[in-house]
Structures are given as C-alpha cells and as structure tokens.
C-alpha cells in the first residue's frame, strides 16, 4: 500500500521512489550535518486511484462537492500497519510545518497532503488517467517538544542568510549556528537549496527544498532575520509571521515584485524598472508600477527615486547622468507626471539620486522645474545622500530646499571605508559600522534642527547596531524589501522598547 524508509538510510538508488530531495536529506545526515530523526512515506497510489474512480470530476460546478465526498471516503482508510510499526515509540510529529499528535492524526494529515496535490492537478488540467501518479512522498519528523521550526536559505545576491520562523523564537547564537549549518549543507550538496529546520533538543534540518537563484520574489510575507552582522550583540528575536507595529515607519521597496497592501509608504528605484535597451516596454512597466502603488497605498507617500544607473564606483551615474542624458530623464519625468496629473496620485514624490555636489542638486532642480516637477506643497523633493561629501556640506544642500533625506547606508559605508559594497570579496567591511555612525551624528542633528525628516535605505538597516542607532537618532522610517517588512516592524519595535527602557533606567 505504502512504502516507508528512515531518512538516514535513503541513498541515490531510492530517488525514483522517495524523491531526489529526500535522498539529499539522507545524504546530509551521513555527512556530519545535523538532520532530525524521521521517515519518508510514499502515497497509497492504488487506494487513491480506486477512490477517485467512483466520483465525477468532469463538471466544474460539482468539483468541490465531489472532492468533499472524496475526503470523507479517504478518512475511513485505516492506518497502515507499516506506518504504525515505523512510528512505534513516537507520538509527536512534524509534517510540512504542522505539529501533529498521534498516529491516526498523522495518517489523516498525510492523506490530505496528497489530496491537495490531486486537487491542484484537477484545477489545472481536469481529471485524467494517471492523476494519482508521481505524488510527492512526505517527510515525517519525530519530535518531542519543539521550541521553534521554520525555513532558511542563503541569498547570494544579498549576501545574507534569511530565516523564516514559522513558530517559536531563536536566540542569536542559535541563529548563527543555523546559518553555519546551511552553509555546510550547501557545500555538501554542491549547489544551494532551501531547508526546513527545527529546534528540538538542538537545531536540525528536516527537509530539503529547491532553490531558485535571485531574490525570492515569491517568498510569502514572512518574518526574516538577516545574519549580516552584529548578531551576537542583538537581543532575543521574535520571528513569527505576525509582526508588531512600530513608531518608525517602514517603506516597502516595491521596485520589483508584486504589490501588497500593508505598509507605511513605498520606495521605488526606477533604475530597476526602466531599461534604456527596452525604452517603450519598460516605460509602460514604470507607469503601471507608479499607478498601482500610488492607488494601493494612497494617501501614504510613494517615493520614486530617479534612475541611478551606475557603472561602478567613480563612474558617471546618478544626477550627473540624468543631467546629460535626456533619453533617461525625460521618460522618468513623463511617467511621474502621468501618474500625478492624469491619475490624481499626488502622494507620489521625487527622490533625487546620488548627488556629488550642491551645484548638481541645483541643476537637477532647475531641470525638474522646467518639466513641471518643481517642489511645492503637493510635490516633495527628497535627496538621496550616498557620499560623505553630502554629510559634510549638508547645510548647503538644505539651503537649496529639500523636503526629506534618504540615507543610502550601503553607498555611504562603501565610500566612507573605501570598498565596493557589491563585491562579495570585501563584504565583511559592511559590518564595521562604528566609524560611519560617528560620522553621521552631526548631519542627523542638523536635519533635526532644520526639521527635515530622514529615512534609511540599504542592507545595513537591519544590522542590529545600525538599527538601534537609527531609532535612537529619530529616524522617520527605513526602506525594507517586501519579505523583510514583518521582521523590520518587529526589530524596530524591540529597538524602540530598549531605548525607552534605557532612558527610564
């Protein structure tokens, strides 16, 4: 009826029956990577096939009704003897991030997993012969008292390990150990994967999942913690899916990916959308993004950074390039004007990118005024600060007239310390932030004195040391990726709480 093997005995020859990824999990358990004790269970193909044959799935209107009847019929299936035998001595299980108590409940959950796979196939292709074949075998983990479990993967583009905690909490030391474990697992399997994990008398891996290179745009809204730096100094983290509100605003970076409907504001880097090689199609994509975000998040601010098309440190980029390349500046202005004037989305504002001097700022402001994007009550002009010169001469920039400042911490850190923040070979310099924070203090004081709000952008924002500094210095908001937002709210809330406690003590 079904076949079962312990995870630790799975080998390459078992891949056709028990799945290649499950075989990888067995391989890791034999290569000094901590893997939880458990079994892999194959579906009862024949039983599912004979059950489905009694029902009509051809009529869409009867689809759900028929499926409900299938579930009731399936529930009558007795627990297989082999499952009772292999799970003997265990009463608590984990299947697909769901805690289960009792073998009978375990069997029902496994059946529902396979029924849901069949349901997806029915919706996609309708009923066909062989619909019950090649269903995914299920991993069953034996547990005692799990403190936490979730998902983890390494994102090379961010040079960060991202943890999604489905339940419970992790200490910083445990997060670091989990990070090291994933790095080792990726080395053992030669290519990166995603992994499910559990904290149950030690941290162990429970499942291997496929990984697609690039930023995970399809990652659900989960709480994440980036193990970039300062982890040992951070407090205990709450990593559940429910995020806490914070006084500091969170601006979602929606330059790529889908729009969601829960944020204090939006930040869009237009260079990630507009492409000079595809001017017409990318122009239409930019307009669609502006209208979508402006409508969805109204009346919250949508900050649109003019394109900073960089070719590396020291190259022509940012505002200088905008001033000398009309084919770049004109479409951006036209898209913003269309969204603001034709769609009445006056919550869309402009961010001026990568300025190397006050003269550049004055020139771009004149160009924007000519294109009817001058600064006024309904249109704010924010300035991106990305080089140390901006901080040193901040008083002169403020005199020209700006409504807010975006601190690009990654760029500031790179130019301040003299390294390329996009190079992984010197990425460790990202975590040496003490000098940068001291350098920013006077500029932040001047912004407060001038009543100019500032927000922070970059991967350094969620560094615990940097985050506490920003909260203490009165940052208005931080820019976070869509999947970072729940963790950002939670970390900000904790930083605010610690600041209040420190001041009251």
Q: Which residues of 8-32 are buried (b: 16+ CB within 10 A; e: fewer)?
A: eebeeebeeebbebbbbbbbbbeee
Predicted pLDDT of residue 53:
57
The series of mean pLDDT values per 10 residues for the chain, 505 residues long, is: 82 83 87 86 73 53 55 71 83 82 84 76 65 78 84 76 78 82 85 85 86 50 37 33 69 78 84 92 92 88 93 78 94 95 94 95 95 92 96 95 95 86 66 89 94 93 89 93 77 84 71
Residue in 407, 417, 418 with CA at minimum distance from that of residue 441: 407
Q: Does domain 3-210 have CATH number 3.30.1490?
A: yes
CATH code of the region 249-504:
3.20.20.60
Q: Which residues of 185-218 are buried (b: 16+ CB within 10 A; e: fewer)?
A: bbeebeebbbbbbbbbeebbbbbbeebeeebbee
Predicted pLDDT of residue 65:
56
Predicted pLDDT of residue 459:
86
* DSSP per residue, 177-236: HHHHHHHHHHHHHSS--EEEEEESSSEEEEEEE---SS--TT--S--EEE-SS-GGGS--
The structure's pTM equals: 0.54
Compute φ and ψ for 59, nearest 5 degrees: -90, 120
Predicted pLDDT of residue 287:
93
Angle between helices 172-189 and 20-29 (to 10 degrees): 110
**Interatomic CA distance for residues 83 and 80, integer angstroms:** 5
Residue in 251, 257, 245, 334 with CA at minimum distance from that of residue 297: 251
Where are the chain's structural domains? 3-210, 249-504
**Interatomic CA distance for residues 388 and 414, integer angstroms:** 10
**In terms of C-beta density within 10 A (0-12 exposed, 13-18 middle, 19 or more buried), how is residue 411 classed?**
buried
- Across-strand partners of 153? 162
């Amino acid at each position: 009826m079904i076949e079962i093997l312990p995870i630790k005995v799975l080998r390459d020859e078992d891949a056709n029956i028990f799945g290649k990824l499950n075989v990888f999990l067995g391989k890791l358990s034999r290569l000094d990577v901590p893997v939880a004790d458990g079994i892999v269970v194959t579906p009862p193909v024949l039983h599912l096939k004979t059950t489905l044959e009694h029902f009509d799935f051809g009529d869409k209107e009867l689809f759900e009704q028929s499926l409900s009847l299938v579930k009731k019929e399936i529930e009558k299936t007795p627990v297989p003897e082999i499952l009772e035998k292999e799970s003997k001595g265990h009463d608590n299980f984990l299947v697909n991030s769901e805690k289960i108590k009792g073998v009978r409940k375990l069997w029902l959950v496994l059946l529902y997993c396979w029924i849901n796979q069949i349901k997806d196939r029915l919706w996609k292709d309708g009923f066909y012969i062989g619909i019950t074949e090649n269903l995914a075998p299920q991993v069953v983990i034996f547990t005692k008292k799990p403190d936490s479990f979730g998902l983890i993967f390494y994102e090379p583009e961010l040079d960060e390990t991202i943890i999604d905690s489905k339940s419970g909490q992790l200490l910083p030391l445990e997060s670091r150990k989990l990070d090291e474990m994933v790095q080792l697992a990726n080395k053992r399997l030669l290519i990166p994967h995603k992994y499910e994990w559990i904290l149950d008398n030690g941290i162990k891996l429970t499942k291997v999942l496929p990984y697609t290179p690039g930023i995970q745009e399809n990652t659900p809204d989960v709480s994440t913690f980036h193990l970039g730096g300062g982890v040992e100094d951070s407090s205990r983290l709450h990593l559940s899916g429910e995020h806490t509100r914070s006084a500091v605003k969170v601006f979602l970076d929606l330059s790529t990916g889908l729009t969601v409907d829960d944020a204090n504001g939006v930040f869009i880097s237009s260079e990630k959308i507009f492409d000079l090689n595809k001017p017409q199609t990318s122009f239409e994509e930019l307009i669609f993004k502006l209208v979508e975000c402006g409508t969805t998040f109204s009346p919250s601010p949508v900050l649109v950074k003019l394109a900073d098309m960089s070719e590396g440190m020291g190259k022509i980029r940012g505002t200088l390039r905008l001033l000398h390349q009309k084919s770049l500046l004109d479409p951006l202005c036209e898209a913003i004007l269309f969204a603001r004037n034709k769609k009445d989305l006056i919550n869309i504002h402009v961010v001026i990118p990568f300025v190397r001097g006050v003269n550049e700022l004055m020139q771009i402001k004149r160009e924007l005024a000519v294109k009817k994007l001058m600064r006024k009550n309904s249109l704010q002009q924010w300035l991106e600060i990305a080089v140390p010169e901006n901080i040193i001469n901040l008083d002169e920039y403020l005199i020209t007239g700006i409504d807010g400042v975006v601190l690009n911490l990654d760029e500031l850190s790179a130019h301040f310390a003299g390294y390329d923040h996009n190079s992984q070979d010197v990425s460790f310099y990202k975590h040496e932030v003490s000098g940068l924070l001291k350098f920013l203090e006077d500029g932040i004081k001047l912004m407060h004195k001038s009543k100019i709000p500032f927000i922070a952008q970059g991967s350094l924002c969620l560094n615990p040391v940097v985050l506490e500094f920003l909260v203490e210095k009165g940052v208005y908001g931080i820019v976070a990726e869509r999947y970072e937002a729940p963790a950002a709210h939670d970390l900000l809330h904790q930083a605010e709480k610690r600041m209040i406690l420190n001041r009251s003590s």
